């Protein structure tokens, strides 16, 4: 039976490599769609938890994983020698930046090499990891060709960027349109048929490069606009103007304006990283992306700006940063999720610790700080009690989780520094609130 027929009858076995915030929702999506799914991850602890029916991602309940496992349609493994079993292989591995802000494609390369060793005729390989235009054609395909099989005849390759928004109840993997580009028409058509069977809409584009560029555009657009409001935040604060009030007023215009909001810095697996993928590949074409790089400078300066504002506000109370007790609220990169990737909270906490502050944190979604690629602070979340609030010289709001009772926080804190306008509805004690 051809791959096209296997997809049409939902008998194609789908493999997902990388069972994180992108890969695990895909597992749920394809299993729900009736496909048998094999999940691969190098982290054997993740694999064992999934086999026990346990979820390690907040917005995916363990009950859902238990149902997948018990249905017999899903199996997790760390045995990459089984890559010849699936008919479709979807790659969802991390693509971070290295210390020089250049793309680190080591996970993509090692995954491609593992696939090439087991590649068999009839398989479709789809890359979903965010990367620069040309990665699929220039990095992934040459490695797969080492198998000795012929591209477009024996195996097929496409790119379809992930568009996950963790914690967003309105948009899930199945309700977000899927952009798909293939390295040839047959590859694109197969990938389109696959995704069309499980998502609300498929958007075909002319090439893998166009699909890769689409993802970069989406996230660069957000990064640049967030940089704009971050810069205006600093300016308007000096002018005595409330940036949040200005944005609310501007957003009443029914055309020509989309609101973006300032914060303590960029976080998440996409927006702080993806624009630099574009600046990297642009240099290969003799082009300097000045606009994007300037936006990156503005956004990466925000954590230090926040720390400086905290120092100013403590100084108003005749307190130095050194020795002051600071309680950080929220280490997730955005509200109501348990995802700390690239969160500016880690940089801010490190800067405060370097200045001699005594730092604690609370996050209802992250009970213990995980080891990050560039940060490792050994600390547990402390309870958000009246006693703990009063014991700190400053409460610093970095993530505006819905679970927080901001009236309670302001009532019992000595000083509140708000980076998210989380205290907008607080009526009493506003004299204790400052903004950064």
Q: Which CATH number is associated with domain 3-208?
A: 3.40.50.720
The larger pLDDT score, comparing residue 267 to residue 39, is at 39
Closest alpha carbon to 311 in 262, 362, 348, 266: 348
Q: Average pLDDT in the 16-37 region?
A: 94
Nearest alpha-carbon partner for 37 in 58, 60, 62, 10: 10
Whole-Å CA distances, 425 to 165, 386, 407, 429: 26, 20, 8, 11
Flag whether pLDDT at 124 surpasses 90: yes
Q: CA–CA separation, 37 vs 33, rounded Å?
A: 10
Which CATH architecture best describes the domain 301-435? Answer: 3-Layer(aba) Sandwich (3.40)
pLDDT tens digit sequence for 278-327 = 888 898 899 999 999 999 999 999 999 999 999 999 999 999 999 999 99
Strand pairing report for 178-182 and 155-159:
antiparallel
Indicate the angle between helix axes 44-51 and 62-71, nearest 10 degrees: 80
pLDDT at 370 over 90: no
pLDDT band at 96 (very low <50, low <70, confident <90, very high): confident
Record the tokens describing residue 349, joined without a space: 């906490």
Q: Is the pLDDT of residue 417 over 80?
A: yes
Spatial CA neighbour of 52 closest among 37, 36, 63, 41: 63
Mean of pLDDT over the chain: 94
Token digits of residue 290: 């000045």
The answer to whether 44 and 76 are in contact (CB under 8 A) is no
Higher pLDDT, 330 or 371: 330
Active centre residues (catalytic): 270
Instruction: Report CA torsion sign: 347, 353, 356, 361.
Output: positive
Please report, for the chain, the start and end positions of each structural domain, with discontinuous segments joined by +. Answer: 3-208, 301-435
Reported in sequence order, the residue ranges of 176-317 that DSSP labels E, i.e. its strands, are 178-182, 202-204
* SS3 (DSSP) at 325: strand
Fold: same for 3-208 and 301-435: yes
For residue 109, the model assigns a pLDDT of 97
Residue by residue, DSSP assigns 201-234 as -EEE-S-HHHHHHHHHHHHHHHHHHHHHHHHHHH
Residues 6+ apart with CB under 8 A from 166: 21, 57, 59, 334, 337, 339
Packing angle, helices 290-300 and 302-316, rounded to 10: 30
Q: What's the pLDDT at 231? A: 97
Beta bridge partners of 124: 88, 156
**What is the per-residue pLDDT for 137?**
97
What pLDDT is attached to residue 342? 85
With a CB cutoff of 8 Å and minimum separation 6, the contacts of 235 are none
- Per-residue pLDDT band for 339 (boundaries 50, 70, 90) equals confident
User: E-assigned strands of 61-182?
Assistant: 74-77, 88-91, 123-127, 155-159, 178-182
**Choice between 172 and 243, residue whose per-residue pLDDT is larger:** 243
CA-CA distance, 222 to 234, in Å (whole number)? 19
Contact 35, 68 (CB under 8 A): no
Per-residue buried b or exposed e for 326-355, using 16+ beta carbons within 10 Å of the residue's own CB: bbbbbbbbbbbbbbbbbbbbbbbbbbbeeb
Q: Is the pLDDT of residue 170 over 90?
A: no
């Amino acid at each position: 039976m051809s791959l096209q027929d296997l997809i049409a009858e939902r008998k194609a076995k789908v493999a997902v490599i990388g069972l994180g915030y992108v890969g695990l929702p895909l597992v749920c999506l394809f299993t729900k769609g009736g496909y048998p799914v094999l999940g691969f991850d190098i982290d054997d602890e993740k694999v064992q938890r999934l086999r026990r029916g346990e979820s390690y991602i907040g917005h995916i309940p363990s009950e859902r994983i238990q149902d997948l496992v018990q249905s017999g349609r899903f199996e997790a493994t760390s045995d990459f020698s089984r890559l010849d079993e699936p008919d479709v292989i979807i790659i969802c591995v991390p693509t971070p930046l290295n210390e020089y802000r250049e793309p680190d494609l080591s996970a993509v390369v090692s995954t491609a090499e593992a696939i090439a060793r087991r590649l068999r005729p009839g398989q479709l390989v789809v890359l979903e990891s965010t990367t620069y235009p040309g990665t699929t054609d220039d990095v992934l395909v040459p490695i797969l060709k080492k198998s000795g099989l012929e591209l477009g005849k024996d195996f097929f390759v496409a790119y379809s960027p992930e568009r996950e928004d963790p914690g967003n109840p309105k948009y899930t993997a199945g309700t977000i349109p899927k952009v798909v580009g293939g390295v040839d028409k047959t590859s694109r058509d197969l990938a389109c048929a696959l995704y069309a069977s499980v998502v609300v809409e498929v958007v075909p584009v002319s090439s893998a490069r166009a699909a890769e560029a689409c993802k970069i555009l989406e996230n660069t657009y957000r990064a640049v606009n967030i940089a704009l409001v971050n810069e205006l935040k600093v300016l308007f604060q000096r002018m005595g103007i409330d940036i949040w009030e200005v944005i609310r007023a501007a957003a009443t215009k029914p055309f020509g304006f989309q609101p973006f909001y300032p914060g303590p810095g960029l976080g998440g697996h996409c927006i702080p990283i993806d624009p630099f993928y574009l600046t990297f590949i642009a240099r290969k074409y003799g082009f300097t992306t000045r606009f994007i790089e300037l936006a990156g400078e503005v956004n990466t300066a925000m954590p230090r700006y926040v720390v400086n504002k905290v120092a100013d506000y403590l100084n108003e109370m005749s307190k130095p940063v050194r020795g002051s007790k600071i309680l950080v609220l929220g280490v997730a990169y955005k509200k109501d999720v348990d995802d700390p990737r690239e969160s500016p909270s880690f940089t801010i906490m490190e800067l405060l610790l370097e200045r001699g502050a005594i730092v604690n944190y609370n996050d209802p979604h992250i009970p213990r700080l995980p080891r990050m690629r560039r940060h490792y602070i050994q600390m547990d979340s402390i309870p958000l009690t009246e006693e703990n609030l009063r014991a700190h010289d400053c409460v610093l709001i970095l993530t505006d989780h819905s679970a927080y009772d901001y009236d309670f926080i302001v009532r019992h804190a000595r000083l509140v520094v708000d980076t998210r306008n989380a205290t907008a509805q607080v009526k009493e004690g506003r004299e204790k609130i400052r903004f950064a």
